[in-house]
Amino acid sequence: MTDDDKLKLSQWQTTMALFNITVDSIEECHWDDGNDNFYSVLDDLESMDQRRANPNNAMRAALITQEMGVTTGMINQYIDHLNELEAAAEELKIKQEIESNSALKKLSKKYNYRVIENPARYEKHHHFAFTTADGIPVTARMFHPKWGVVRIWFEWVNAAGKKVRIRKDTRTNSFSLPKSFPQSLAIWHGELGTMSLILTHLVVTNKLPSQFISLKPVL
């Protein structure tokens, strides 16, 4: 160490005292990390200076980004914005596919499938209704009593004027998406709205699996 270095460090020690930093305190926390550790912060600055002096591609990109006034927070917000645009575009695509699908149109127009909004009871359940191929009006609801399970309720009035109520519990993956449905609905296969469409389709086309035959409305 040169005499100039010793003089410089002596002046430095006097200046550091203004910040309550002493040689002893530096030795005590030498290996501690954190923003409050003088030695750690200084080491970070030296490392950054070295990276600035010999920048790799990532460092060049970061420096240009900083010069442009762009921060990491701004980048994160922009990524969120792009993801929202992508999600909105995908949602619009799926909506258009649903609205133009002939099988779903048939459920609505021929079999009067509809979602029941603002039900008087069981507000957290998915309520819907339809009319079978035999002309039997059915009201139904579905909900998840626990994860991976859906409970189905069907109600209709038989020929004797008596209300029939059938309950069935099953796994959310019990029904496959019909080939005539928009395949984009597959991502919402386990969603109650999609399941109600699938179940209605199976009933009105008489394609209920044998284990669900109790749900078939009969007079």
pLDDT score for 76: 97
Distance between CA 143 and CA 150 in Å, rounded? 6
Q: What is the DSSP string of 8-53?
A: HHHHHHHHHHTTT--HHHHHHTTT--STT-HHHHHHHHHHHHHHHH
What is the maximum span of the chain, computed from C-alpha positions, in angstroms?
111
Task: Identify the three-state secondary structure at position 206.
Answer: coil
pLDDT score for 57: 95
Burial 67-79 (b: 16+ CB within 10 A, else e): eeeeeeeeeeeee
- Are 150 and 192 within 8 A, CB to CB? yes
Query: Closest Cα to residue 200, out of 212, 184, 210?
Result: 212
- Are 184 and 93 within 8 A, CB to CB? yes
Would you give per-residue pLDDT tens digits along the chain (219 residues)? 898 888 999 999 999 889 888 888 777 765 555 556 788 888 889 999 999 999 999 999 999 999 999 999 999 999 999 999 999 998 888 888 888 999 999 999 999 999 998 887 888 899 999 999 999 999 999 999 998 899 999 999 998 999 999 999 998 888 888 999 988 887 777 789 889 999 999 999 999 988 888 888 987
pLDDT score for 29: 66
Task: Identify the three-state secondary structure at position 61.
Answer: helix
- Are 204 and 111 within 8 A, CB to CB? yes
Distance between CA 30 and CA 35 in Å, rounded? 13
pLDDT score for 71: 95
pLDDT score for 210: 87
Q: What is the DSSP string of 133-201?
A: TT--EEEEEEEEEETTEEEEEEEEE-TTS-EEEEEEEEETTSSPPPTTS-GGGGGGTTSHHHHHHHHHH
Q: Which two tokens stand for residue 217?
A: 């409305």
